[in-house]
Amino acid sequence: MSPALTLVILVAGAYLAARVAFEWLGRRFLIVSGAEYVLLGILLGPQVSGLLGRTVLQSFEPITTLALGWMGAIIGMRFYLAELVAVPGITYRLAFVESLLTLLTVFGVEMAAMTLLGFSPGRVWIPALAMGAIATASSTAAVNMIGERLGKERERGSERPLLVQL
């Protein structure tokens, strides 16, 4: 079987399994992380299962770079300039500070945990920063999940939004 077909089959199966498990955990315990993608990469990579070697993974770098670029373009197309200009500047500053605090908190915890496990700080700062970025990017999913849960518990009849997120 070709490496590309193997990758597609493994990623599809592992993604579905991880998605179902993490979605259930998220709804049950209000856990939102995006870590299922990191876990999927670790399990499929050469360090754990060895199903995909380093050279095979490097051959897919152009595809993953293109996918990340498209994701950025899709997110950028959701912004409506007229609405963004109408939002007070303090809102953006608060959102930036919140994101920065999330990034730094997760980065710090990850660095401390990996250092306690015996890894050198010079070796783990990039993965720790990546985990902080994942936590920051997935924080909107947490707000949406909590809003959905609170919305179900709320009285019917009220037209006022439960929460507003920019």
Q: What is the pLDDT of residues 99-110, one digit of tens each?
A: 899 899 999 999
pLDDT at position 114 over 50: yes
* pLDDT band for position 153 (cuts 50, 70, 90): low
Mean pLDDT taken over the chain: 75
* pLDDT band for position 60 (cuts 50, 70, 90): confident
Q: Which residue has the tokens 């259930």?
A: 24
pLDDT at 66: 87
Q: Which of 17-31, 89-103, 105-119 has the highest mean pLDDT?
A: 105-119
The more confident residue out of 162 and 95 is: 95
* pLDDT band for position 89 (cuts 50, 70, 90): confident
pLDDT at 162: 47
Q: What is the mean pLDDT of residues 56-79?
A: 81
pLDDT at position 71 over 50: yes
Q: What is the mean pLDDT of residues 61-78?
A: 82
